[in-house]
């Protein structure tokens, strides 16, 4: 039996449609430091072909497109049309529209052929999915990554924080508002189960107390 509290795809899409109007401000204020650190650790290079899954309001896409440069390309898949509209506007504003291709789609069935990407970035998405869907999504990521391709997973850190007041409060929110919160996972365990090799992991504390984890794996 699944102990984590997650929502149906319909409810997730409905929640992120509503959240899309406020999520941008929150995302930038809350996650700027985390984003910069994760991109340093992930070592995205000029010329890379990168996929971001569940890109939300598109801040990461902008940074990824800047780094991948003219010779690279950034692709994005998100379930929610409003997030796609907001991200497109953000890319346009930064004159990066030609370096990014965004698609409405489901991470469980990625609309890409095999062995296409050097890197896949997935931030605050795996932890909103059920156990079964996490496994499916990781298999899809493996399928679309080139041999030796890399994955960067960002999530609320669970391991080592299970008994903290912070985690108790977070799980309380998750229990009562499952569509608007996430159910933290230990991403490393899922990556290993799906046969990724872990190459880097780091905790980044937001505002000194909110522990987020960056885990980087390789096929």
Ligand X SMILES: C[S@@+](CC[C@H](N)C(=O)[O-])C[C@H]1O[C@@H](n2cnc3c(N)ncnc32)[C@H](O)[C@@H]1O
Kindly tell me which of 31 and 118 has the beta carbon lying closer to ligand X: 31
Kindly tell me which of 13 and 118 has the beta carbon lying closer to ligand X: 13
Kindly tell me which of 166 and 180 has the beta carbon lying closer to ligand X: 180
Contacts of 136 (CB under 8 A, 6+ apart): 108
Q: How far is the CB of 184 from ligand X (least distance, A)?
A: 12
Kindly tell me which of 71 and 101 has the beta carbon lying closer to ligand X: 101
DSSP secondary structure string for all residues of 25-92 = HHHHHHHHHHHHHHHHHHT--TT-EEEEES-TTSHHHHHHHHHHTTT-EEEEEES-HHHHHHHHHHHH
Q: How far is the CB of 77 from ligand X (least distance, A)?
A: 5
Q: How far is the CB of 172 from ligand X (least distance, A)?
A: 18
Q: How far is the CB of 119 from ligand X (least distance, A)?
A: 15
12 contacts 188 by C-beta, under 8 angstroms:
no
Q: Indicate the DSSP class of residue 181.
A: S
Kindly tell me which of 36 and 147 has the beta carbon lying closer to ligand X: 36
Kindly tell me which of 54 and 149 has the beta carbon lying closer to ligand X: 54
CB atoms within 10 A of CB 159: 15
Q: How far is the CB of 30 from ligand X (least distance, A)?
A: 8
Residues 19 and 90: their CA atoms lie apart, in Å, by: 17
Q: How far is the CB of 186 from ligand X (least distance, A)?
A: 18
Q: Which two tokens stand for residue 95?
A: 């004159």
DSSP secondary structure string for all residues of 93-132 = HTT-GGGEEEEE--GGG-SS-SS-EEEEEEES-GGGS-HH
Residues 83 and 19: their CA atoms lie apart, in Å, by: 9
Chain residues in the site for ligand X (CB under 6 A): 12, 16, 27, 31, 53-56, 77-80, 83, 106-108, 123-125, 128
């Amino acid at each position: 039996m699944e102990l984590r509290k997650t929502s149906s795809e319909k409810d997730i899409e409905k929640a992120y449609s509503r959240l899309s109007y406020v999520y941008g401000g929150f995302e930038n204020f809350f996650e700027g430091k985390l984003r910069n650190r994760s991109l340093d650790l992930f070592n995205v290079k000029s010329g890379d072909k990168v996929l971001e899954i569940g890109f939300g309001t598109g801040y990461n896409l902008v940074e990824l497109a800047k780094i991948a440069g003219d010779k690279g390309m950034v692709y994005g898949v998100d379930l929610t049309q409003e997030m796609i509209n907001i991200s497109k506007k953000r890319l346009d504003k930064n004159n990066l529209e030609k370096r990014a291709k965004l698609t409405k789609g489901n991470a469980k069935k990625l609309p890409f052929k095999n062995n296409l990407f050097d890197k896949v970035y997935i931030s605050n998405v795996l932890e909103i999915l059920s156990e079964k869907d996490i496994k499916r999504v990781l298999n899809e990521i493996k399928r679309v990554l080139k041999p030796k391709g890399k994955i960067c997973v960002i999530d609320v850190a669970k391991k080592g924080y299970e008994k903290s007041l912070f985690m108790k409060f977070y799980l309380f929110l998750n229990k009562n508002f499952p569509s608007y919160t996430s159910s933290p996972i230990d991403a490393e365990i899922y990556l290993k189960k799906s046969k990724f090799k872990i190459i880097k992991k780091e905790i980044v504390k937001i505002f000194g107390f909110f522990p987020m984890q960056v885990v980087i794996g390789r096929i």
